[in-house]
Amino acid sequence: MKRKLFTLIALTLCVLMTALCLTACGNKGDESKENKTTSAEDANKGETKEASSLLGTWSANEAEGCAYTFEEDGKGVWDASEGMLMNFTYADKGETVEITYEGSSTTQIWEYNIDGANLTMKDTDTGSILTYTKK
């Protein structure tokens, strides 16, 4: 029972830290990212968009074992460590990414900045900042 409670608390902390990270410092001066959008909705509309710069797997620097994986089809997986996986859909808006976890009607909006293999995300609601490294 204590292990399940600890695991639930760890998962909750990882999700919160991720939410905080995704809202981090967007690079507002980078016009090259303005038109990048990757989402299942855009694919269904037949629109051609540039590939998201978020594609791939990003490991959380603040939470060992936690990682985001962004796929080309506008879907992804949040690995909250210890095999706890949460599926999500996302829309990359260039300076922000909108993430909706499976089973949730709430969309989280994160400002983000990529500098080489480093991703910084800031939760637009809480102001929390998280950092990730590309695997």
pTM, whole model, 2 decimals? 0.63
Sequence-distant (6+) residues with CB within 8 A of 61 are 130, 131, 132, 133
Residue 124 and residue 111 in contact, taking contact as beta carbons nearer than 8 Å: yes
pLDDT of 7-44, one tens digit each? 545 445 445 445 434 444 444 444 444 444 444 444 44
What pLDDT is stored for residue 6 in this prediction?
47
Mean pLDDT confidence for 106-125? 96
Q: What pLDDT was estimated at residue 18?
A: 52
Domains identified in the chain, total number: 1
What's the CATH code of the domain at 91? 2.40.128
Instruction: Give the residue numbers spanning the domain of 114.
Output: 2-134
